[in-house]
Amino acid sequence: MAIKFINPGEEPEDPDEESRTAEITRGVRRLFLDMGFAPLCELTLITGRRVDVAGLNKKGELIVAEVKSSIPDFKSDHKWTEYLAHCDRFFFAVNRDFPNELIPNEVGLIIADGYGGTVMRESPTLKLAPARRKSLTLKFARVAAERLSYSLDET
């Protein structure tokens, strides 16, 4: 077993963080479906940044949830503000043990686990520019279709 040295002031890695992330993500996907949004995980934006969960509804609205499974994970994320220009609503998604007071009030808040999620604070509506909406919608559709095609080949 390899020994991992921790620098002074650095948080030790949490071996359960990956499973917490997976559980929160699953709950967000289920919540998005309940809200009428088709969820897609790990969608790479035009900027090259990747959102954790994006959702697209019948009206063409795009919502994004950024999953945070720990305080260090949240504190180390300085890129989330870049996502605001690429969605109609933005949420942080955390589990019930996460200190909600850390989440900025100007964005939405979802509490999720492996079974589902709840919107605890609604996101303000951000209006996507029409050209960006079209570009993101086409990207969403192409990525979803490609993933479906690959998954069908694996069976």
In contact, 39 and 57? CB cutoff 8 Å: no
Q: Which CATH number fits domain 17-154: 1.20.1740, 3.40.1350, 3.30.2450, 3.30.310?
A: 3.40.1350
Each residue's pLDDT tens digit, 120-136:
999 999 989 999 999 99
Q: Does residue 4 register a pLDDT over 90?
A: no
Q: pTM to 2 decimals?
A: 0.87
Which residue's structure tokens are 């035009």? 46
Backbone angles phi, psi at 76, to 5 degrees: -85, -5
- pLDDT at site 30: 98
Nearest Cα neighbor of 46 from 142, 146, 150 is 142
The pLDDT tens digits for 43-101 are 999 899 999 999 999 999 999 999 999 999 999 999 999 999 999 999 999 999 999 99
